[in-house]
Structure 1
């Protein structure tokens, strides 16, 4: 589907990668180049199978940390408190979708040898057995490296690439987000 000069295609491979990892007890870390569709994959495409499975809106916790509306959650402890406040039933599954998580990591933390507080938040959410966590970030190199080190077997990386020519021809058109 073309919208102006923009053509949107579905990313079935990456969507399936997310779906098969649902409930695996790990933080799903979506990495990739800028503007490759990480946010669209997580907030638009991935929500459809959740809703098709009957997941209620209040069980999908979406936070775009690059949006000024969510700026107060760039503080990791505020983010944790907010997410925990939304999880009201410990026997039902909740899906936490965090976009641009690098906004919750301070410059001081980036220069430190200690892991950022955000990683403690993510690991804390993992300890809640009914919570499934998905994150994207603009600093994909950092996130990709940290999946292997800081999450020590608790992180699962999905690398998204820029759509190739073949993918564009064979891809299924999808509607543009109304945001």
Structure 2
């Protein structure tokens, strides 16, 4: 079991606090394991295992508890046998009808510490916020970082170099279960395809009651193929029209939002650096896991620049940055990352192989006169920093952070 210390360090200060701990993220990114890690930590601190009640609502054995009333009755009955504080763990709680009413009631009826997970962001934007406004704290989980991936791979294949691990990471992505498949190409591909289908059917089609599954599949495929490229609902509408499907942009926006709610991909807004305003058109999208793209449509190595962007973008989210794409005139900065008073600019490139590439990646900063750190990340082994712009190897950035 990989010790997801990045998340544990963030959650630990909220142990035994009345705030409901909400752990969200794409299906199978490790949320269930995180509940186990939390339980292990609580036991080390002296909490009795008998005080913990755990419910995983993906199990059919709990199907009779998938209403708020049934769950509430079961928890209160079991809590009678517990002396002192009750620790409640609800995995994939969105499977329970009106679950938010039950969670809110537990806070009133019991001395309890509550942890819940879910694979849909509407847990917070809708249902949960209605009942628990100001009484919960969210932790978004992502697939394994490159650092975590190296740790997992070295458990299975200790002789692997960092470069070997990164090659595998680019191909397979960071879903935690892949270590159980020994990172074998065909089993990994099958697993990720099945994961993609499960997200589509369980987290999007069923939850949103989508009838036109073919249209949804086309839109998801378009986004998956075009990660890192700017496009809009209107441009997708025109593309589908050429494919023989006439679809209104509003319908496409609804389907895009459904994909976002399932944590399949993340939109990134564009920011006018000179005007210091967020642009309302032409967002970019990045996938929650680039390995899914390779499994579903292939072509990661042909689009390696975009894959590297996707990897860096997810790493910035893991580190708690808010990320936008920067626009300055006709030029574009891949990422502007902000965290409290901190701000950094990042350009991502595969290899700085020609003078033209060097000029493109470094030159974009020429007219940005502020004093915030500016980075160019690539897979080059030699440090090519210049003019106050920091060049860093992408692997080192992922393992060590910014210099």
Q: TM-score range by the shorter chain?
A: 0.7 to 0.9
| Separation in 2, partners of 1:11, 1:60 | 21
Alignment of 1:82-93 (within 5 A): 82-88=74-80, 92-93=84-85
**Contact conserved, 1:9 with 1:168, CA < 8 A, in 2?**
no
**Contact conserved, 2:51 with 2:83, CA < 8 A, in 1?**
no
Shift of 1:91: 6.0
| Separation in 2, partners of 1:121, 1:148 | 14
* 2:4 maps to 1:11: yes
* 2:21 maps to 1:28: yes
| Separation in 2, partners of 1:129, 1:15 | 25
**Cα distance change on mapping 1:45 and 1:90 into 2, 3 Å:** closer
| Separation in 2, partners of 1:165, 1:102 | 30
Shift of 1:93: 1.2
* 2:149 maps to 1:168: yes
* 2:113 maps to 1:132: yes
| Pick aligned residue for 1:75 from 53, 59, 67 | 67
- Paired position in structure 1 for 2:354: none
- Paired position in structure 2 for 1:145: 125
- Paired position in structure 1 for 2:57: 65
Deviations 1:90-121 (CA, angstroms, capped at 9, x unpaired): 8611110000111102xxxxxxxxxxx32111
| Separation in 2, partners of 1:39, 1:124 | 23
**Cα distance change on mapping 1:69 and 1:90 into 2, 3 Å:** closer
Aligned residues: 154
Partner secondary structure for residue 138 of structure 2: strand
- Paired position in structure 1 for 2:33: 40
Q: Which has the higher mean CA deviation after the structures are superposed, 141-150 or 90-99?
A: 141-150
| Pick aligned residue for 1:121 from 81, 102, 110 | 102
Larger Rg: 2
| Separation in 1, partners of 2:150, 2:23 | 24
Deviations 1:35-74 (CA, angstroms, capped at 9, x unpaired): 11001111x2111112112222221000001101111111
Deviations 1:102-160 (CA, angstroms, capped at 9, x unpaired): 1102xxxxxxxxxxx32111111112452011111122x21131344442111111111
Partner secondary structure for residue 143 of structure 2: coil
The structure carrying a bigger helix percent of its residues is 2
> Which runs of no fewer than 5 residues in structure 2 stay unpaired?
156-176, 178-403
**Contact conserved, 2:50 with 2:82, CA < 8 A, in 1?**
no
- Paired position in structure 1 for 2:377: none
- The two structures have a TM-score, normalised by structure 1, of 0.76
* 2:106 maps to 1:103: no
Q: Give the aligned CA root-mean-square deviation in angstroms.
A: 2.3
| Separation in 2, partners of 1:168, 1:161 | 12
